[in-house]
Structure 1
Amino acid sequence: MDGLWAHLSGGALLWLTLTLGVYAIADRLSLLVQRNPLANPVLHSVWVIGVILVASGTPYQTYFDGAYFIHFLLGPSTVALALPLYENRRVVMRSLVPIVAALLVGSIATIGSVIVCAAVFDLPAMITISSLPKSATSGVAMGISQSVGGDASLTAILVVATGIVGAVMATPLLNLLRIEDRRARGFAVGLAAHGVGTARAFQVHPLTGTFAGVAMSLNGLMTAVLVPLAASFLGG
């Protein structure tokens, strides 16, 4: 059995199939509970696959090599967000002024929160710098982190954690704040929780997802400008 498992675990199809299967089951369960935020399929896929990797003694690199095709699709899927954006372009253009204002405030706030937490908890410079782009989508955040001397692997972990937490907390928090405008809800989720939040926003409503996609894209650009300035301020 050990020999059979060693043979199977080295194959790309095993981990690709496992990842897609676990997510499909998690997504189905999420649908059964009417998309409750706590049933976020990304959240539950992560811990289930993590348990499987630990239980089987499979190194993460082996898993990543097997499921790399999913990682590759992050780029095309992000570009595909341009379609709903194009379909709702008139609505987006009518909201241009509040979009710019929200982008500036939100981007500064996400980076500023890292600096405040670093000062309060006396975090090491490497952790602080690696955390600065946590609200940008993973490909952008890792590139920014490397360019300012951060740890790209740590940044990737923080990006995923931020996305999951944001996607889970967004709906209850926005309901608590009595924010009902779909545009505002989507933009807030996309800016704070990038791709994971945007996927959640599309589950709620197409317009909400569109504005989440706009926020995710624009925040990536803004983060690329602001993070080097913040890192320079921190002495990175």
Structure 2
Amino acid sequence: MDILSQNTLFGIIISLITFEIGLLIYKKTKFPLFNPLLIAIILVISILLIFDIDIDTYNKGGEFINMFLGPATIVLAVPLYKQLQLLKKYLFPILIGILIGSSIGISSVILLANIFGMEEIVTLSLLSKSVTTPIGIEITNQLGGITPITVLAIVISGIFGAVIGPVLFKIFKISNKVAIGISLGTASHAVGTTKALEFGETEGAMSSLAIGITGIMTVFLAPVCYNLLSLILK
């Protein structure tokens, strides 16, 4: 096993295989909690623990996958381009919706962190939980947070949003395609967008738009909201 794990391709192959297994299970069951990303994470962690493989060893290949996160996010602009007329029609409500969603997402982290007495560095690491990983990591680095915590928070928020989102749409009888896409993209970034694409091309396009705008807004809103609420809550 050591010979295999020391190979750079080990991290890549394990990641791809576990994700494909997760994808297969989700397609067979259609059960929301069986999210392919969540299953892949659990399987990868299990393999590393069972065979006592160091995380740095896994990252020799895993880091190559991280390199494609940025380009993969940009590719989401393709369905958006196809829905350009719809974007122009609803531009103002879309921007307002994303602004409110981003502000609430950041503010809720600060308020809950204050209630539970979290350390400042942990709070700073959680502020960018609702943006896509490349943007979230950069925001955390600028704020002086802990990157691994940010990545974990982003993954959890993405999966949680993708699972809970459709349930909330049914409860509150939300059927507007733009609203569904924007809410999923704003709250749960790329993972939410994969769920939005299951609803339809319009939902996927709006969700991919929300990813970019939420990221940009969070860059400015995170430090402002943190400093403002910190003063109020003191």
2:117 is equivalent to residue 122 of structure 1: yes
Q: CA separation in 2, counterparts of 1:64 and 1:94?
A: 44
Q: CA separation in 2, counterparts of 1:61 and 1:172?
A: 38
Question: What amino acid is the match of 1:50?
Answer: I
Q: CA separation in 2, counterparts of 1:124 and 1:192?
A: 24
Shift of residue 232 of structure 1? 3.0
Q: TM-score, normalised by structure 2?
A: 0.93
Q: TM-score, normalised by structure 1?
A: 0.93
Percentage of matched positions with identical amino acids: 31
C-alpha distance after superposition, 1:72-129 (max 9, x if no partner): 1111111111111111111111111210110111011000101110121111111111
Mapping for residues 18-33 of structure 1, pairs under 5 Å: 18-33=14-29
Shift of residue 230 of structure 1? 2.7
Shift of residue 149 of structure 1? 1.6
Deviates more, 1:123-132 or 1:201-210: 201-210
Question: What amino acid is the match of 2:208?
Answer: G
Between Structure 1 and Structure 2, how many residues are aligned?
Answer: 230
SS of structure 1 residue aligned to 2:33: helix
Q: Flag structure 1 segments of 5+ consecutive residues without an equivalent.
A: none
Instruction: Give yes or no for contact 1:148–1:231 (8 Å, CA) kept in 2.
Output: no
- Residue 63 of structure 2 is matched in structure 1 by 68
- Residue 53 of structure 2 is matched in structure 1 by 58
Q: Flag structure 2 segments of 5+ consecutive residues without an equivalent.
A: none
2:164 is equivalent to residue 169 of structure 1: yes
C-alpha distance after superposition, 1:181-217 (max 9, x if no partner): 1211111111011111112211331111111101111
Q: CA separation in 2, counterparts of 1:170 and 1:47?
A: 22
Shift of residue 55 of structure 1? 0.9
- Residue 102 of structure 2 is matched in structure 1 by 107
Q: CA separation in 1, counterparts of 2:120 and 2:203?
A: 36
Question: What amino acid is the match of 1:226?
Answer: L
2:34 is equivalent to residue 39 of structure 1: yes
Mapping for residues 144-159 of structure 1, pairs under 5 Å: 144-159=139-154
Shift of residue 14 of structure 1? 2.2
Instruction: Give yes or no for contact 2:102–2:214 (8 Å, CA) kept in 1.
Output: yes
Question: What amino acid is the match of 1:180?
Answer: S
Instruction: Give yes or no for contact 1:37–1:171 (8 Å, CA) kept in 2.
Output: no
SS of structure 2 residue aligned to 1:39: coil
2:216 is equivalent to residue 217 of structure 1: no
Question: What amino acid is the match of 2:60?
Answer: D
Question: What amino acid is the match of 1:53?
Answer: L
C-alpha distance after superposition, 1:12-71 (max 9, x if no partner): 2222112111111211221122x4322211111111111111111112121122122221
